[in-house]
Structure 1
């Protein structure tokens, strides 16, 4: 499988690629993941940063079961309850993905099924 990133210009400062091109490989569509509780079941209510890291850990665990990694992600849709968290989410995403960012959209929502949730991420990964 080959993966090519369209880097764009200003998109790099927001930690996303305007397009990712793949050829070959197996596609993994992952459902919306959240992180309102840590791995021990402790509530992360009200802590956006902790929920974001936990969300990525949860995605990573799901992808591992599917034979994929975070580096195989080609696109994500990020749902946030507060647009003021977008910049911190971008910083965390840059930390996680380095310079090979997935394509992405960030959407503000009025709420989730669980009112303690502050972020949800769904996406697609392509694996060799």
Structure 2
């Protein structure tokens, strides 16, 4: 599968690409994932950073079952309860993706089904 990143200009500072072009491959549609509890079931309520890392760990586990990795994500939609968290989310996404960012949108919502949730991420991955 060939993947080409449209880099844009200012988008790099916000850790996303304005577009990704793929040729070939299989598509994995990633349902919304959250991280309000760690792998041991401990609540991460109120800790945006911990929830974001856990959300990516949960997505990674799902992708592994599908034969993919986080690096295969070509687009994601990030839902946040507080727009002030977008900078922290950008920092974490930069750690995870380096300079090859997926296309992305960040949307502020008034709340989730579980009031402890601060972030939810859904996306699309393309694999060989």
Please indicate the TM-score interval, normalised by the length of the shorter structure: over 0.9
**Offset at residue 3 of structure 1 (A):** 0.1
Partner of 2:92: 92
Cα separation, 2, equivalents of 1:94 and 1:124: 18
Deviation at 1:87, TM superposition (A): 0.3
Whole-angstrom CA distance in 1 between matches of 2:67 and 2:58: 14
Compute the displacement of 1:63 (Å).
Answer: 0.1
Residue 44 (structure 1) aligned with residue 44 (structure 2):
yes
Give 1:27 deviation, angstroms: 0.2
Q: CA RMSD in A?
A: 0.2
The two structures have a TM-score, normalised by structure 1, of 1.00
Tell me the matched-pair count: 128
Task: Give the 4+ runs in structure 1 shifted more than 2 A.
Answer: none
Gaps of 5+ in 2: none
Structure 1 residues 12-51: aligned runs within 5 Å: 12-51=12-51
**Alpha-carbon distance in structure 2 between the residues aligned to 1:2 and 1:47:** 37
Instruction: Please state how far the C-alpha of 1:68 moved relative to its aligned partner.
Output: 0.3
Per the TM alignment, residue 97 of structure 1 is displaced from its structure 2 partner at its CA by 0.2
Q: Any residues of structure 2 matched to 1:77-116 within 5 Å, and which?
A: 77-116=77-116
